[in-house]
Structures are given as C-alpha cells and as structure tokens.
Amino acid sequence: MFGETLKKIRKSKNYSQQTIAAGYFTQASYSHFEKNKSDINATNFVFLIEQLQLSLDELLYIHNDYNLTPSEQLIELFYKTPYNKKEDLEVLLYKIETFLTKNPHHIYIIELKTICEALLLLSNDENIQGAREKVLHIWERISRYDQYYLADIRILNAILFLFDFETVTFITKSLLQQLSKYNHFGEALRLQSSITLNYSLICIRNNKFQQAMQYLEPLLMEKQKTLTYISLAIGFNRIAICLTYQNQKIVAEYLKKRDLLLLAYDDELLKERLEGEYNTYRFNPN
C-alpha cells in the first residue's frame, strides 16, 4: 500500500494532513490511509498524488525505493538491447525467462519473450519468415483494438521490420495516426520519431526513397527542436541517402550537418554506424 510513502512525501514538503485532504477527505480517513489501515478508490488516489505534485510514475519509483520494478527494468532493457546482436539477445532472453519463472502470467513480458525468440531466430538462421510467423499473433491481437496504447505501439515498433513492406506501411500509418491523440505526451513524441525513422530505413531498403522522404522531411521540419541529437543525426543521414539518387550538393550539406552534430556530442560510435549505413544504401552509379 502507498499510504506510508505518501506520508513521507507529505512530511518532506511540510504539508499538514488537512492541507492534503483539502476537504476531499476527513482528516481521520486520510490518517487511516497513511497508516495503511484503509484503502481509497482510484479517483481519490489520483487526487492525492496531484496534491503532492507527483506523477504516478514518480510515485511508483519512490515507493520502490527509488528503483524501477523488476518488470520495468526488464522492459527498459528490452528496448535498449540492439536487435541485431545475438549475444545481447541471448542474455536478454535468459533474464526474461528467469523473471517468468516467478511471474508466469505477466502478459507484457511474455510477449517480449516471443519477440526476443523471433529476433534470435532471425539472427541464427536468417529465417525472416519463421520470425514473422512467431510474432504475427501479436499484430493480429493489437490490430483488433479500436485504440492502440503506448505499450502496444512500442511492441509493434519493435517488430516493424519483420513484416512485408505493404504490411509495414499499413502498421506505420496506423501507429502514427493513433499517436496523434497524444500530442502533448512526451513518450508519444519520442515514439513518433522512432517509428518514422524506422519506417524510413525500411523504405530505403525497399528502394522507396521518395516515400522515405515523405516521412523524414516533415519530421525534421516540424520536430527538429524537440528531437534528440541521435534522432536528428539519423534523420540527416537518411535524407542524405535518399538524395544520393537526385542531388549530390544537398547530400553533402546533410552529411555535414550530421557530422557537426555528432562532433558536438563526441559520439564517434554513432558516426561510424551512420557512415556504414550511408555507404550501404547510398546510390552508387558504379
């Protein structure tokens, strides 16, 4: 229960119980909640954390002794793990399986396990059809929703490149449309840029350079000030790739922007990776 945690936060802010209750509760009922002697409904709980100027995420983090929960740690690790590194995926899968031995019904982690297995299948055998079939039920489940939630969108973004181009295009449009409802929500803005950049690379791999540009240009024009330097550098790099088929002068300008940005952040590793991507997909008349 969260009563004791809210009590510690309230006292650290020098608020009285009466101030926090604000006529919404009697002091006695609020005191019982702080002592974990009674519980309150969700509406009242939201009222209390707003009174304390907290987000639910921050409260959960504090309640867990300033740590992510084990499931949150695993989810964060999943989205940070490079999907093309077999050794990292094997370590991730082991941690997921260990977690599931104690929490066998955690729906989200079960689906992350499936995706991890699919990525390993792709890494071991280059069997994209087998990997696609393994995660197909995840797309089929989410596609039936009237509303995609951020957890669903993150999962689909993780498996986007496993599908054929027509399906990827449909999924991408659906995800971006759903994210338009989250205009002022920070995580949604990050997801929007991630999905756009992922889709741009899929377009490039399929020689759909004009289609890639239709997604990249608005992203860089409208969101440039809010993008991370990593997303911005990737965007510059992929626009340069697309333009190698048209205008070499503008290509040089975008590559210069990319390099100056990465120089400012001293990110030599990303520079090397993006140079490799550029050299792999750029137009080479020879």
pLDDT confidence of residue 284: 65
The answer on 130 and 73 residing in a single domain is yes
51 and 88 within one domain: no
Interatomic CA distance for residues 202 and 285, integer angstroms = 22
Is residue 19, in this structure, part of any structural domain at all?
yes
Q: 39: alpha, beta or left, given left = phi > 0 and alpha = psi -120 to 50?
A: beta
Six token digits for residue 42: 């969700």
Boundary residue ending a domain (104, 127, 144) = 144
Identify the pLDDT of residue 22. 83
DSSP code of residue 160: G
* pLDDT level of residue 245 (50, 70, 90 thresholds): confident
Are residues 123 and 91 located together in one domain of the fold? yes
Domain endpoint, select from 47, 63, 79: 63
Per-residue pLDDT tens over the stretch 22-39: 878 888 888 888 888 888
Of 63, 93, 113, the residue at which a domain comes to its end is 63
| Same domain as 104, residue 36 | no
Average pLDDT over residues 63-90: 92
Paired tokens of 170 = 């449909």
Residue 95 falls inside a structural domain:
yes
73 lies in the same domain as 134: yes
Per the domain annotation, does 135 fall within a domain?
yes
For residues 95 and 125, membership in a common domain is answered with yes
User: Are 75 and 26 part of one and the same domain?
Assistant: no
- Establish if 187 belongs to a structural domain: no
Specify whether 59 is located in the same domain as 79. Answer: no
Q: How far apart, in Å, do the first and last CA atoms of the chain sit?
A: 67
* Structure confidence at residue 40 as a pLDDT band (50, 70, 90): confident
Determine the pLDDT at residue 37. 87
Pair 124, 100 in one domain:
yes
Count the residues in the chain. 286
- Nearest Cα residue to 58 out of 118, 107, 108, 2: 2
pLDDT on residue 135: 95
Same-domain check for residues 82 and 133: yes
Number of separate domains in the chain: 2
> In this structure, are 57 and 83 located in the same domain?
no
With contact defined as beta carbons under 8 Å apart, do 234 and 226 qualify?
no
pLDDT digits (tens, 9 = 90+) for 145-168: 989 999 999 999 999 999 999 999
On whether residue 155 sits in a domain, the answer given is no
Within a domain: 139: yes
Q: Is residue 250 part of a domain?
A: no
pLDDT of residue 150: 93
User: Cα–Cα distances in Å, from 120 out to 25, 85, 128, 159, 205?
Assistant: 53, 9, 10, 12, 21
**Sign of the four-CA dihedral 107, 110, 112, 118:** negative
Check residue 50 and report its DSSP letter.
Answer: H
> 120 lies in which domain range?
68-144
- pLDDT band per the 50, 70, 90 thresholds, residue 127: confident
Residue 43 lies in a domain: yes
What contacts 228, CB < 8 A, 6 or more positions away? 190, 193
HSE on the CB side for 46, CA within 13 Å? 3
User: Are 115 and 135 in contact, with CB atoms under 8 Å apart?
Assistant: yes
Percent of the chain with pLDDT over 70: 99
Residue 222 has what pLDDT?
85
Provide the CATH number for the domain around residue 21.
1.10.260.40
